[in-house]
Amino acid sequence: MTTEIQNRIKEVFEKQKDFFGTQATKEIAFRKMQLQNFRKVFASYTDAICEALQIDLGKSRAEAEYVEVQIVLNELDDMIEHMEEWVKPTFVKSKPHASGAEVISKYIYEPYGVNYIIGPFNYPVQLTFSPLIGALMAGNTAVIKPSENTPHVAQVIEDIVKEAFHEEYVAVFQGAVEENSFLLTLPFDYIFFTGSPKVGKIVMKAAAEQLIPLTLELGGKSPTIVHQDADLEKAVQRIAAGKWINCGQTCVAPDYIYVHESVKDALVAQFKSYLKTTYHDESLGKIGKIVSQQQINNLASYLEAAPEKVIYGGKYDLDTRHFEATLMTDVNWDDAVMQQEIFGPILPILTYHTIDEALKEITSRPKPLALYVFSEDQKFADDVIARTTSGDAEINSTLIHVGSHYLPFGGVGTSGMGKYHGKFSLENFSHQRSILQVM
């Protein structure tokens, strides 16, 4: 990284500090106008976004529109419609003053200032722009660094930002570890990171050096419990949709299944028949591409470590970066595939005899980003949720909570900290400042 680029980054950072200091970004009319303008520009890039996603990740047009473009547009519409109502000061009760004077108490959503948003590769559009619009709704400026692993998308992100904003308000710097490390030395007012727990630690350490508040949107192994009374046909369809979208590269994808031993054979049979009819594809390309050859090799190593456990799929092509939807059974916690987040289309199946033993294993491990439970018994499902923790959870479904801007989304512990989407983005990207006045 040249000194010239470093100076350029510092120059833009200073410009954003100055611009934030003018108070312009705090004006509600300004924020609304910027989001409306961004909506127009962003929507006009739909073709370019979908083409770039096809090249970098093999996403189909329908998938790209549904899980990348539409999610950002829905969030934008919700924010534009409700922003004025959300950002109003909240008046609360006051404790009496010793002198008997009247006291007024309220809190306001105050923007932090210059934000730094670091994006991952897997949903590179949605996971860069959803935080951005939250930051702008709250009255901040932002610098974005998209993932270097989806270079075509990163270029489109830069093009959109350049067309929609001045750089003193929003700017993009492309790059990888070196650029990110340099950017993390700047005194940002807030950092929003989406990526792996490993890099999350690096980002958090850098933030700690300057005591910069931050959000970490991380990952982990999200368990999927299938109880003996689950509707197996529905369960398979809904688990498959969450697991194999984007070739398994989804932060909240079901990482593994924990099924009651009495229905394991029936579940496996159901999966096999569903995979044959819905996912079979000689070219292996139906579910998208793995981001890199290195990751294909990681995934392949899980299969090579226990080939006898691979009961469906297992084929891959290093050149095209395709990897088949794959099932493993009779898996246990010592298997290589259970040692870290899989982040690929391999679905291991473990069995339990009693739910207590399954929950003991789950809760003795790092807190996952999502937890899914399939059961027709509401009490059983509620009990599983009550006795575990995870960023978020679903009953009889997977993945779709992320797409709802009515729900706060985020992790807990090793799967992250901080929640966003919809109104929760305002809370995430604002400092709640209490103001007390004695009359």
So which residues are the catalytic ones?
Answer: 217, 251
Q: Closest separation between CB of residue 380 and ligand NAD, Å?
A: 27
Q: Closest separation between CB of residue 255 and ligand NAD, Å?
A: 9
- Ordered alpha helix ranges (H), 306-346: none
Q: Which residue type is seen at 432?
A: Q
Per CB under 6 A, 416 contacts ligand NAD: yes
3-state secondary structure of 87: helix
Per CB under 6 A, 242 contacts ligand NAD: no
Nearer to ligand NAD, 202 or 336 (CB): 202
Geometric angle at alpha carbon 307, from 305 and 313, rounded to 5°:
120
Binder to ligand NAD among 121, 165, 190, 374 (CB under 6 A)?
A: 121
Per CB under 6 A, 127 contacts ligand NAD: yes
Instruction: Give the C-alpha separation, 127 to 170, whole Å.
Output: 16
Find all residues with CB under 8 Å of 229, minimum gap 6, and list them. 375, 376, 377, 380
Question: Could you tell me whether strands 322-323 and 316-317 are parallel, antiparallel, or unpaired per DSSP bridges?
Answer: antiparallel
Instruction: Give the C-alpha separation, 275 to 240, whole Å.
Output: 8
Which string of x and - marks every residue 251-270 that binds ligand NAD (by CB under 6 A)?
x-------------------
Per CB under 6 A, 400 contacts ligand NAD: no
Q: Which residue type is seen at 145?
A: K
Candidates 23-31, 119-127, 237-245, 266-274: pick the segment binding ligand NAD (CB under 6 A): 119-127
Binder to ligand NAD among 113, 411, 418, 422 (CB under 6 A)?
A: 411
Binder to ligand NAD among 148, 229, 231, 383 (CB under 6 A)?
A: 148
Nearer to ligand NAD, 25 or 115 (CB): 115
Q: Is 118 exposed, middle or buried (0-12, 13-18, 19+ CB in 10 A)?
A: buried
Candidates 80-88, 129-137, 217-225, 239-247: pick the segment binding ligand NAD (CB under 6 A): 217-225
Per CB under 6 A, 327 contacts ligand NAD: no
Helices (H) then strands (E): counts for the chain: 15, 18
Candidates 108-116, 144-152, 273-281, 370-378: pick the segment binding ligand NAD (CB under 6 A): 144-152
Whether residue 136 contacts residue 170, with contact meaning beta carbons closer than 8 Å, is answered with yes
Instruction: Give the C-alpha separation, 436 to 439, whole Å.
Output: 10
Candidates 211-219, 269-277, 380-388, 423-431: pick the segment binding ligand NAD (CB under 6 A): 211-219
Is the C-alpha dihedral spanning 284, 312, 315, 63 positive or negative? positive
Q: What is the number of the residue whose Cβ is closest to ligand NAD?
A: 219
Phi/psi at 210 (5° precision): -115, 10
| Interacting residue ranges for ligand NAD, rule: CB under 6 A | 118-122, 127, 145, 147-148, 176-177, 180-181, 194-196, 199, 202, 217-219, 251, 341, 343, 369, 411, 416
